[in-house]
Amino acid sequence: MTTNKHKKIVTQADVARQAGVSRTTVSYVLNNATSISIPPATRQRIIDAAAELDYIPNRAARSLRTQKTYTIAGIIQDITNPFHPAFERGIQDVAEQHGYDLIMYNTDGILTKERKALNSARYGRVDGIIGSFVAVTDEDFLPIVKQGVPVVRLSSILSPLTDYPLDMLHVDNEGAAYTATNYLIARGHRIIGVLTGTGPPHSTRMKGYQRALQEHGIPYEEDLVQGHAFSVEEGRQGMVALMNRKPRPTAVFAHSDLMAMGALLTIREARLRVPDDIAVIGFDNIFAAELVTPALTTIELPQRALGQRAAEMLFARIDGRVTGGGRYEEMPYRLVIRESA
């Protein structure tokens, strides 16, 4: 019995003959081109023909022809934080629609790691970058965007727009923190603790917290602010410090849901009740926020939608539908009221 070790490579010309269309039309469909309209029936016929023939795109040849890698990079701080996988999933949804692969970099918010990830674009490994950055500055982006490689940043701080393709997707973290703190004040709380981390989200969320206190004539007290990282363990330790304070806060605003969940554990261990003894509000509305007991009141950031919109902004650049200087777009947030506050 003999086997054919050299199976014929199926080409786009073969798919075109099978589908009864031109090779150009096949190329438009299989490369997810958006510059021309293909009738749905024709598109489906080509897809069926490609599947029947077991057509496999030649990525190397395509890259040589177009001078593109058909890969984008997603840069995040911590893949173990549930916010980031949902954000990454949104990016991947759109990347797949455009026939692109996605590679992810986990930086831990460390400057050297963020710069190393950015260098992937400089060295020609990716066609664009989407990132949630902590340590790099605008100057770190300039060598990349000057090469014509677009970048979309998820940012909690508004920076001046540039003349280069450096776009910003913004969520008003200060306004969101103001909303959360105002809600607690409206519920009668006057001693409100904060569990926070470091980096841009910390500074903007603190501004919202302080603005709400000031508007209601409540003094800001530094010992009500605890924490150094957006993690469950930091939430636990920070809550211990707040519980030992005299007088103890009657409410806590955690700058991440993970910190809020750590706080819930500490409060439960102290045999106190939430929200009767201490109310707790989180930030992010990760998938587990409604699964904990009591279900967590929190600020919702639409993580998957953020990833999708960032990718749409990036591909508008990659496809040439948008040119010129940086763009700015704001995404919504909302307060989700559950049992904990």
* pLDDT at res. 166: 86
- Report the amino acid identity of residue 4: N
Question: Which tens digits make up the pLDDT trace of 60-72?
Answer: 455 445 557 788 9
Question: Which tens digits make up the pLDDT trace of 315-340?
Answer: 999 988 988 888 889 999 999 999 99
Region(s) of the chain under CATH 3.40.50.2300? 70-172+303-332, 173-300
Whole-model pTM?
0.77
Give the sheet arrangement for strand 334-336, strand by strand: 225-226, 192-195, 251-254, 279-284, 297-300, 334-336
Region(s) of the chain under CATH 1.10.260.40? 12-57
List the CATH code of the domain at 173-300: 3.40.50.2300
* pLDDT at res. 142: 85
Question: Could you tell me which of 32, 120, 110, 143 has the C-alpha nearest to residue 74?
Answer: 120
Classify domain 70-172+303-332 at the CATH topology level.
Rossmann fold (3.40.50)
List the CATH code of the domain at 12-57: 1.10.260.40
Mind spelling out the 3-state secondary structure of 113-143?
HHHHHHHHHHCCCCCCEEECCCCCCHHHHHH
Mind spelling out the 3-state secondary structure of 47-111?
HHHHHHHCCCCCHHHHHHHHCCCCEEEEEECCCCCCHHHHHHHHHHHHHHHCCCEEEEEECCCCH
Low-confidence residues in the chain, pLDDT < 70: 1-7, 32-35, 57-67
* pLDDT at res. 35: 59
Contact 259, 230 (CB under 8 A): yes
* pLDDT at res. 24: 86
Give the sheet arrangement for strand 71-76, strand by strand: 101-106, 71-76, 129-131, 151-155, 166-171, 328-331
Angstrom distance (rounded) from CA 263 to CA 257: 10
Spatial neighbors of 103 by CB under 8 A, at least 6 apart, are: 71, 72, 73, 74, 120, 126
* pLDDT at res. 125: 80
